[in-house]
Amino acid sequence: MRTFVAIDLHNTEKIVDIQNRIVKEHNFNVKDIRPIHKDNLHLTLKFLGEVSDDQVKEIITTLQNLRFVSFEARFIDIGCFPNSIEPRIIWLKLDDRCIKQIDSLYHVVTKLLNSVKDIKIKQSSGADEKFEFTPHLTIFRVKHRQRFEKPLNFAHDNISYSTEIDRIKLKKSILTSGGPIYSDLITIEATSRT
């Protein structure tokens, strides 16, 4: 099964408000730019890809050893991957303090998962392995690779969204023509609160 380790977010209705505002202010055609559904919004820590049922059991057992303290995530800006002329995704950027905390969590999860037999842990969080791990929240996918006349500029978009990072999940992903369907395999709660 296709799996990944992720951080789910609270109050995703606020992100939907941000998505709607961006579509309106930038006059996006939703046929070309698809907002991520509020139930699918998450921060990917580790993309594991296809793993066997036995490996999933071992991953679950391993992740149960994870210990972390909850922290606040603040989203402060909007960006595009790979660039603002031909973006594939539009995402929300975290503040520097939170990036460091998530990066630290990423390395702890990676170290834990490296102990799982016969699993190849990739060094980044996504399917495109030429990029380093960059904590971000994908809020739109660009359906048709289109080139914008001018680079997308979100400098005047006011982003105000904070949430507590207090749980990590191993998720199963089923790809469908209507988009991915995610289900939780295990939830690891923070061992203490900040």
What is the tens place of the pLDDT at every residue in 111-121?
A: 999 988 777 65
Q: How many domains does the chain have?
A: 1
Per the domain annotation, does 194 fall within a domain? no
CA distance 19 to 22: 5
CA distance 25 to 59: 43
Of 17-26, 27-36, 149-158, highest mean pLDDT: 17-26
Dihedral over Cα of 24, 14, 88, 98: its sign: positive
Can you give the pLDDT at residue 25? 84
Q: Is residue 146 over pLDDT 70?
A: no
Q: Phi then psi for 187, rounded to 5 degrees?
A: -120, 130
Burial class (CB in 10 A: 0-12, 13-18, 19+), 192: exposed
Segments forming the whole domain that contains residue 45: 2-189
Per the domain annotation, does 69 fall within a domain? yes
Per the domain annotation, does 13 fall within a domain? yes
For position 36, which CATH number holds? Answer: 3.90.1140.10
Per the domain annotation, does 72 fall within a domain? yes
User: In Å, what is the CA distance from 124 to each residue of 4, 35, 47, 189?
Assistant: 12, 23, 8, 23
Can you give the pLDDT at residue 83? 84
Per the domain annotation, does 103 fall within a domain? yes
In the chain, the percentage of residues whose pLDDT exceeds 90 is 60
Per the domain annotation, does 136 fall within a domain? yes
Decide if 92 contacts 18 (C-beta within 8 A).
Answer: yes
